Chain A
Amino acid sequence: MIGLDCCPATSPTARQHLYLYLLLLGSFLFACTRVARAQASPQPPEAPVSRAEQITAAEKAKAAHLRPVEAPHGEQVFIDTKDKVMKHLSVTSGFSLRLGGLPTGGGFSIGPRYTRSDLLHDQLVSDTSVVGSTKLWWRAQTSLAAPSLVNGHLSMKVDAAYEDAASVFFYGEGPTSSRNGKSNFRREFTTARFETAVHTVANRVGLGYRIGGLLANVGPGRYSDPPSTSLIYTESTVPGLDRQSHFMTGTGFVFLDFTKKGFSNPSGFKLQAENTQFWDKTWGAYSFDLLATQAEYDFTFANGMRTLALRARNETAFVDGHQVVPFYLQPTLGGSDDLRGYDRYRFYGNGASLVNAEYRWSVAEALEMAVFADGGNVYQRPGLIGFRHSRGGGGIGFRFKNKNATIMRLDIGASPEGVHVWLVFNPVFRKLPRAF
């Protein structure tokens, strides 16, 4: 055996011997290790001779590498994201985000919301929100409702709101108004209301009364083009333009719903009627009654996959003596919910009639298409109800739905005044437009 300390470090021959020695030693140790490993490890098992042994061997092999079950990476990311987003959108009690909530034409709106639906064992619901839109419209509202008293036969609600519609379009009054007369104005409504309603026949029949107050203010719109309404119209042709009023209001309403739930649309008949009395408490010059009625009939066929839907609506203002209807409370036509081939708020008048017909076909559970025809006119006094100066149009629509409701609607309407594309998040033929 050669000791390292016996070798002169400087001798080349001795160094070569040392390297050789280390190489041999390394080889010997490596060989010993392999032999030891080979002896320590069991012999490879013989190939299984039966199917049961084969399967058991595979199970045992897997058992040696088990790990906790977990969602695939994509699903985990989805779950985390969904939780974060839905936490803010689907809160039934607490703070969340509110999407929408402005009158039609307000643009995309969003804002904070605070709701409580767990008060008095879910009997009382409170809802407070502030939303602002891409068109700089604003609305703040709060409400407290008991929607299902006396086993669902009675509901009560109190609400208050401030709404600033910064750029409502106005084209002049009457059916012959011109597109060249397009203007915009700011409309501010501050309201407070109390409503009670009774519901019966399995919620198919309801009637109620709503009493409240409306503080109205109009001013220059936020757009310079089109110009502000006050720049091209006057109080003499457009009542209410210079003088704004505070109103007391009382609304009686009734609805009948004899529709049957269907696969893509309900079928049957629906009727709504609402009469709102406006008492002008400021000038005593703008008091009137607004009677609005709407009838809808849906006929489904092809196992519920096709629907013929018809709607007729009329809104007529009744005035006494020298009273006039302020332009900002007049019925209007034009937009995503009535005459879809015309600009939004295209026609103003003391009365408006509207008929719509749609042929809808369900393409898939999540998609329905429709071809539609719209017709209607506005008029200045009840005696002029009829078809004079009627405007018409038609188009095609795509409705994206879930099992219970329309989530989004893309309607393309055409008329002699052009083609309009509407992307909205409400069903067509919905409830009567609100008077204010």
Chain B
Amino acid sequence: MARLQSGFQKAASCLLVSMALIGGAAAQKQRFLADDPIARVPEIPVAYSLKVQQIDELYDFAYNSAHYKLPPPTPSLGINTLGEVPDSSWYTNRDLRRMTREQLQRGPRTSAGPVPPFTVVAAKTEGVTPGFRILDGRGHLFFVKVDPATNPEMATASDVMGALFFYALGYNVPENYILVAKPEDFGLSPQASITEPSGKNQPMRGKDLEKILNVVPRLPDGRIRVLASRAISGKIMGPFSYLGVRTDDPNDLIPHQQRRDLRGLAVFCAWLNHTDAKSLNSLDALQDTGLQARLVHYLVDFGAAFGSDSDIAKDPRHGREFAVPTDGAQLRQVFTLGLYFPDWQTVRYPSHLKAVGNFTAAAFDPGKWRPNYPNPAFLAMYPSDAYWAAKKVMAFTDDDIRAIVEQGQLSNAETVDYVAKTLSARRDAIGRAWFRRVLPVEGPRIEDNELHFENLGVRYGFTSVPSYGYEWFRWDNQNGTKEAVPTSHSTTVPSELMLGAGHKDQYLGCTIKDEGQPDLSTTVYFRADRGTWQLVGIDRTTNPPSLP
């Protein structure tokens, strides 16, 4: 019965949010409301006593591996009438064009990193790589991780670069720093504890710390290089799931697998080869109090991005296959007795650049990219979600990419160059792959009674200027109906529509078609506002077709 109630509540939540955020429900005839398109999702205070969410790693792997098939298509939610993701506790639009090089390189980081002295407060020796926690001179808590001996600089650089890229892309991430220090800079707190391989927690001794520091790769001058990730502020409430909603957060209305910012994350992860994009690499934190109390959603742990798999260079199959076989290519390997070689098995990796790990743009196909195991939001991604994300990726210039890669503090200039160039090449592959699924018209505006817009495919050189067709219409916002105006097939606003431009609540629209690809079109909606036409909505058809 409890589960039935839970299911009902979930269904009710979905219905409410569908009504609220896509504005297409039967109860709401008006397609565009007064404040559309919204730039920020209003959120109410979290007054409920939250519990820490537990997600079992093995169950998450097994459950999602068993649900690897594409789910029935569901609409993308959490978007405004332009199809953009408004700011919220999940996502913040950061306009790369307005970010300076310094802002890109700083990301979420509020300081220059941990300041000495470093006091070790806890450590673990179990697992593949050791890790410990320190308090710096200002009393800030940091989680410290190290590079594998086989690939110095790889995992630490990956964690820093990953955080900066995802921050610039709009996500909440922790402050990650490269910390270079002498082993003797690390002292031991009298209360420090260590988790032994046996799982036993006991007081930590100087010898234990020495043992941990001994396995950290040394720089030529004897110092060690580690990653210091500052503890996220607020009360940690566990990871978020990529499926469903949190039942204790009033602002969490949209099933996560339908959020455009989580669906589009697949494209970002493909670009950065962040194959370990799973629930356990996320965190919810309850921040602020009273009327400002919000549950803020973070992505964490980017040690398995680019060519790194944290404790080893990335397995070449990562990014192309799930851990559990699901596709025909794997079956083909079974029946050909290993004589079939998929393309990713024959590409060359820069084996002389150990800090890169296994990262390449060769054989990178954005449509075939896979995380380590199925992610429900990624599986549900639709071409329109991918287009939204691809736009963000394409906004990074070569200089932007290099600026962030430099923050990995890779000592070899050739490594920096290789990573930056690989990311640029993968960026272009993403643009090519997803821009062709839509008519990538952006920045539509009406000036001097002429419709202006930009085709991103043309801008980035992926296609030549297509032959456009235009279908103007009057939009009845009260009834949600179109009235075609057949007199104009150019970018000029038809005279019938120009007459009432100064009137309130008057709408017009235009469907722009690529005559070479008749199934692709973009429809733009404008509202009369103080004598001008303001963009209020964008609809896109996609290939495969859009949802009804």
Contacts and interface: CB of A to CB of B under 8 A. Distances in A.
B324 to A, nearest CB: 6
B16 A62 contact: yes
Nearest to A79: B56
A364 B324 CA distance: 7
A361 B198 contact: no
Nearest to B315: A263
B150 A261 contact: yes
Interface in A373-405: none
Contacts, number: 173
A230 B324 CA distance: 51
A371 B334 CA distance: 11
A59 B89 CA distance: 14
Which secondary structure dominates where chain A touches chain B?
mixed
A54 interface: yes
Contacts of A359: 338
Contact of B50 (A69, A92, A367): A69
A67 B44 contact: no
Nearest to A363: B333
A58 B17 contact: yes
A69 B48 CA distance: 11
B9 interface: yes
A57 B338 CA distance: 59
Interface string B317-357: 10001111100001001100110010011110100000000
Contacts of B41: 55
A241 B247 CA distance: 73
B232 interface: no
Interface stretch (A173-181, A280-288, A298-306): A298-306
A263 B53 CA distance: 33
A102 B460 CA distance: 66
A73 B4 CA distance: 12
Interface string B28-42: 100001111010011
A69 B251 contact: no
A93 B198 contact: yes
Which secondary structure dominates where chain B touches chain A?
loop
B44 A56 contact: yes
Nearest to B211: A151
Given A58-B17, A73-B3, A78-B56, A362 B317 contact: yes
Contact of B44 (A63, A74, A92, A118): A63
A367 B325 contact: yes
Interface string B242-255: 00001111111100
B345 A363 contact: no
Interface residues of B, number: 73
A69 B51 contact: yes
A77 to B, nearest CB: 10
Residue of B34, B321, B324, B338 with most partner-chain A CB within 10 A: B338
Interface stretch (B18-26, B219-227, B490-498): B18-26
Nearest to A364: B325
Nearest to A367: B325
A58 B34 CA distance: 18
A43 interface: no
A303 B346 contact: yes
Interface string A257-268: 000010100000
Interface string A289-308: 00000000000001111100
B55 interface: yes
B58 interface: yes
A401 to B, nearest CB: 11
Contacts of A92: 197-199
Nearest to A92: B198
9 contacts: A51-B20, A59-B250, A60-B44, A75-B55, A79-B54, A117-B198, A302-B345, A303-B346, A369-B334
Interface of A: 47-52, 54-63, 65-71, 73-75, 78-79, 82, 92-93, 117-118, 121-122, 261, 263, 302-306, 359-367, 369, 371
